[in-house]
Amino acid sequence: MDEDVLGVDVGGTAIKTWWHGGAGPTVPTPKGDPTGERTADLLAGLAAGFPGVAAIGVATPGIVDDEAGVTRMSVNLGWQEVPVRDLLESRTGVPVALTHDVRAGAVAERLTGAGAGRPGALVFAPVGTGLALAVVDADARPIGTGWAGEVGQLRFGPGPHRGLRVEEVASAGGLALRYGAPEAAPVLAAMQAGDAVAAERWRETVDALAEVLAWTIALIAPGTVAVGGGLARAGDALLDPLRAALAERLAGFPEPVVVPAAHGTAAAAIGAAHLADVRRRSR
């Protein structure tokens, strides 16, 4: 990747930047900006602070139409149909790439993170407040757009969780809520202290994640599954039972390596920078 591309991750509370292979400034996200104009002004100002920016990659949460360069809907940002690419290209004069923050994270994990040096496609599973997945092919091209990867919004079919949204079980936020804790870490601590209810909730979360990932692996046959987000901080307490549950489901299938994501909260800004580079070269 060339060094003169700026990566930007527009989150609900903060905007993170990536420049010249390292983290740039983090600034608060403008509040009450339904048109996205103020956010675009801010991003243009940030870009002006980096000498020689040749392209900008932007990642946002929500439903993002990568081809059109439009964030169709984002609850976190209060956006509907915000044409991020046009707003920012008109202000800066440089090519802008827009994508979903999880897809951007997958690109980063594929190229320079958990997937670096491994063959094949990569699935990025940030298990946090909610759950969305992203898939990139062996060349780090994102697969799907719009609603693609919003598996957390799916509802469980017949079984113990019937009717629940998937992320109500298969996320750190869902785990905490079902146990009655403010976040997932105390549930892990309680389980490790011998609390049987915590252990049961933990097992349900791991099983639900294995369910999501098993179908994804069977459809895509990736080489790597990179698990990130808050729940990944549990390390082997999450990954060991997850790998065991996957092995049961995937018997006979070539199993991907299931590893922690490498880029942490910088993943989306890093991946956005990569995609900006791709977009610039294609023009």
Q: Give the footprint of a copy of itself on this chain (CB under 8 A).
A: 121, 133, 135, 137, 143-151, 153-160, 163, 166, 207, 210-212, 214-216, 218-221, 245, 248-254
126 bridge partner residues: 228
- In the complex with a copy of itself, which residue's Cβ is closer, 56 or 148? 148
Cα–Cα distance for residue pair 203/209, rounded to 1 Å: 10
Output the smallest distance, CB 202 to a copy of itself, in A. Answer: 15
In the block, which residue shows the tokens 């990025």? Answer: 124
Cβ closest to a copy of itself, residue 67 vs residue 193: 67
In the complex with a copy of itself, which residue's Cβ is closer, 104 or 212? 212
What is the rounded distance in angstroms from the CA atom of residue 277 to the CA atom of residue 283?
Answer: 10
- The structure tokens listed for 54 are 């040749």
Distance CA(29)–CA(15), nearest Å, equals: 6
Cα→Cα distances 133→1, 36, 143, Å: 24, 25, 11
Nearest approach in angstroms of CB 103 to a copy of itself is: 12
Cβ at position 222, least distance to a copy of itself in Å = 9
What's the angle, vertex CA 169, arms to CA 161 and CA 122, rounded to 5?
115
Length of the chain as a residue count: 283
Q: How would you classify the pairing of strands 70-74 and 79-82?
A: antiparallel
Give min distance, CB of 151 to a copy of itself, in A. Answer: 4
Q: Which 3 state secondary structure label does DSSP give 74?
A: strand
Of 118 and 233, nearer to a copy of itself (C-beta) is 118
Closest to a copy of itself by CB, 55 or 151: 151
Locate all alpha helices (DSSP H) within the chain, ordered by sequence. 37-48, 84-92, 101-112, 172-179, 184-192, 196-220, 236-249, 267-281
> What's the min distance (Å) between Cβ of 210 and a copy of itself?
7
209 versus 261: smaller Cβ distance to a copy of itself: 209
The least distance separating a copy of itself from the CB of residue 13, rounded to whole angstroms, comes to 25
